[in-house]
Amino acid sequence: MQLTVARIGRAHGLRGEVALDLRTDTPHERFAVGTRLQTEPASAGPLTVERTRVQQDRWFVTFAEVHDRTGAESLRGVELVVEAAESDEDDAWYPHELAGLRAEHVDGRLLGEIVGLEHLPAHDMLVLRETDGARTLVPFVRAIVPVVDVPGGRVVLDPPGGLLASDAANLVVSDETRGTDEG
């Protein structure tokens, strides 16, 4: 099975450089100069990393097969993939591993089922189908998802009040957010 380690973003400059939307915790290893990466769709690759740079926590890559902006623009949206056996990152899970896991509250209550993973700009979000059928996005951060037990078929959630649709009555809103000025 192939797993996505990055999605190619916009072209940058005139010489074929592209921005990457990372899906890996080890970009220095995945995108080392000389690394040959398979693509999805396969017709876009394979691509060989010729040069990398990081600017303001954003990764930019030039591939040996792409020499100009037009070529770089044609790669936008292409996924860079590796075989699952090559993936040995700790604390890294992929959508196919998370889908179907039982979601439990830290107190043991059943909250629902994980039905997917969405990659958003700030961080990944678990897609939770709550027991009443409501769809809720849960930030996939350790403070809220302290346990991911794929072999055990579950994730444990410690959501703040009001995050889940079933807990909307406990939503805490600050005075600043409300727009009231006390003082």
Cβ atoms of 20 and 6 within 8 Å: the answer is yes
Which DSSP category does 78 fall into? Answer: P
Q: Mean of the per-residue pLDDT values for the chain?
A: 84
Residue whose pair of structure tokens reads 């995945």 in the numeric block: 30
Q: What's the pLDDT tens digit per position in 65-92? A: 999 999 999 999 999 988 765 445 555 6
Rg, C-alpha atoms of the chain: 20
Cβ atoms of 8 and 65 within 8 Å: the answer is no
Q: What's the pLDDT tens digit per position in 32-59? A: 999 999 998 989 889 999 999 998 888 9
Contacts of 138 (CB under 8 A, 6+ apart): 125, 126, 127, 128, 144, 145, 157, 159, 163, 164
Q: What's the pLDDT tens digit per position in 119-177? A: 776 678 889 999 999 999 998 888 888 898 888 899 999 988 888 888 776 666 667 76
Pairing between β-strand 110-119 and β-strand 124-130 as defined by DSSP bridges: antiparallel
